[in-house]
Amino acid sequence: MKKTLMRKYARLAVQSGVNLQKGQGCIINASVEQHEFAEMVAEEAYRAGAKWVTVEWGDQALNRLKYRHETITQLSRVEEWEKTRMQFYADTLPARISIASGAPDGMKGINPAKMQKSRMSRGTAMKPLQDAMANKYQWTILAVPSKAWAKKVFPQERTSAAVEKLWNAILQTVHVTEDNDPVAAWEAHDRELEAKAQVLTDLDLDYLHYESPNGTDFKVWLIPGSKWIGGGEALADGTYFNPNMPTEEVFNTPWRGKCEGKLVSTKPLSVQGTLVEKFAITFQDGKAVSVEADQGQEQLERLITMGEGACMLGEVAMVPVSSPISQSGILFYNTLFDENAACHVALGRGFRENIPGYRDMTDEQLREKGVNDALIHVDFMIGSPDLNVTGYTRDGKEVAVIRNGNWAI
């Protein structure tokens, strides 16, 4: 991949991704395999006026070793230095840029119970600090290819060619080309998504009904007064940023515990580094009561038991099959991309920002409003060319929202 395009992408992450402010700190999460791109992002952050930049390195192979050899007790420990570091982040609110690149099935074969128990313990211990930071700092997730991921997406290609093809596909999804201004392209894209979100908000929908010949037949209710969001988000001081790069979705937070029916997946899901394929989830009284999967059944069963809110929904999102990512025909095996090729929902934690006035509400008040809370937030795709979504307004009107996979509004 040309260094000029990589540099353009790194600059986009800093400028449009987190919109780094002069004098602000910056955290970069990256795999050691991505040191070259991480260095570019760090340099662009300093150029934008970062007071400091730190890179928190990861490595999937080392994670496999940890889960294979350490006890659950050790894996579950949260050291005092980790709490101190997180408290520093909560106090100073640095921007965070996460660079995804792991293999979708890179943790295959690792004991799922061991991963679940240790992650639940660590997540519970750190949640108060994470909640204290919620909606108070800019963050973004983007991706660059790893060799293992590229070969998963393009298995017939030699490794170098697969990496190059995945690079090209990724850059297309985030509007980075040789001759364009990606920052301006993102501003225009955000405005389009915001306009669509406003149309949905103005409809004041009571509930949505999803139907597809594949077996999906599902109803979900929306929180009264909630708003749909598309594009980026803004902090209390107006600082605008883009949490997901790419993004093609318009989303809302469903009413906690108010949904019924069956959802059938249309794309694989990577759960903690293990692929779950060809699966369906049945909901009753707002909770997932049964799951079935051709592959990854145990991982899916454990996912919905990761705390009280894990079996309930925290997001509903509309994405037309006409989206550029869908039209590329590429199955990325990565939720960041695949969720932007199809309508999807998410198990677990809901979004505060969909509730007007959320900044002045306590966690308990948001829960009373109907926002789900959980340790997880896991998206899975249900969109297809034959999916229909019908909305029902609070005054009884029927509105076609999605017809044959595309927008009907």
The token pair at 366 is: 């948001």
The answer as to whether 403 is a domain residue is yes
Domain end (from 173, 204, 223): 173
User: Rounded to the nearest 5°, which phi and psi values hold at 241?
Assistant: -150, 165
Residues 40, 109: one domain?
A: yes
- What average pLDDT is seen over the chain? 94
Average pLDDT over residues 343-365: 94
Q: What is the mean pLDDT of residues 194-200?
A: 97
Q: What angle, rounded to 10 degrees, do the helices at 112-133 and 80-92 form? A: 40
pLDDT(274) > 90: no
- Same domain (yes/no): 95, 42: yes
C-beta separation of 76 from 122 below 8 A:
yes
Residue 116: what pLDDT?
84
How confident is residue 392, by pLDDT bands cut at 50, 70 and 90? very high
Instruction: Identify which of 163, 406, 203, 200 has the alpha carbon closest to the alpha carbon of residue 316.
Output: 200
Q: Is 115 left (phi over 0), alpha (psi -120 to 50) or beta?
A: alpha
- The confidence score (pLDDT) of residue 111 equals 87
How many structural domains comprise the chain?
2
* 226 and 78 share one domain: no
Task: State whether 131 and 13 are in the same domain.
Answer: yes
Q: Residue 223: inside a domain, yes or no?
A: yes
All residues at 6 or more sequence positions from 316 whose CB lies less than 8 Å from its CB, including other chains: 208, 220, 222, 251, 252, 253, 254, 345
Give the pLDDT confidence score for residue 62 in this predicted structure.
94
Same-domain status, 387 and 249: yes
- Alpha-helix residue ranges (DSSP H) falling in 70-181: 72-76, 80-92, 112-133, 147-153, 159-173
What span, in angstroms and rounded, lies between the C-alpha atoms of 263 and 266? 10
| 83 residue type, one letter | K
Q: What is the pLDDT of residues 154-186, one digit of tens each?
A: 999 999 999 999 999 999 999 999 999 999 999
Which structure tokens are listed for 152? 């998963």
Q: Are 99 and 45 in contact (CB under 8 A)?
A: no
Determine the pLDDT at residue 115. Answer: 87
Pairing of strands 52-58, 25-31: parallel
Q: C-alpha 247: how far from its chain's center?
A: 10
pLDDT higher than threshold 80 for residue 272: no
Residues 247 and 340 occupy one common structural domain: yes
The reply to whether 157 falls in a domain is yes
Residue bearing tokens 């103005």: 202
Q: Which amino acid is at 37?
A: F
Percent with pLDDT over 70 in the chain: 100
Residue 129 lies in a domain: yes
| pLDDT for the residue numbered 136 | 93
Instruction: Find the domain containing 400 and state its range.
Output: 191-233+241-407
Clarify whether residues 219 and 110 are in a common domain: no
pLDDT for the residue 112: 83
323 is a domain residue: yes
Confidence category of residue 330, pLDDT binned at 50, 70, 90 = very high
Residue 104 — very low, low, confident or very high, per pLDDT cuts 50/70/90?
Answer: confident
Whole-number pLDDT of residue 134: 85
CATH number assigned to the domain comprising residue 70 = 3.40.1830.10
**Whether residue 200 is found in the same domain as residue 98:** no
313-321 mean pLDDT: 96
Q: Which two tokens stand for residue 236?
A: 């209390």
- Both 262 and 165 in one domain: the answer is no
CB 224 within 8 A of CB 368: no
In a domain, 16, yes or no: yes
Shared domain check, 201 and 81 = no
- What pLDDT sits at residue 396? 87
Same domain, yes or no, for 160 and 196? no
In the block, tokens 């970062």 appear at 50
One domain, residues 168 and 199? no
328 to 32, 83, 85, 366: CA distances (angstroms)? 29, 43, 41, 39
Per the domain annotation, does 182 fall within a domain? no
Residue 186 lies in a domain: no
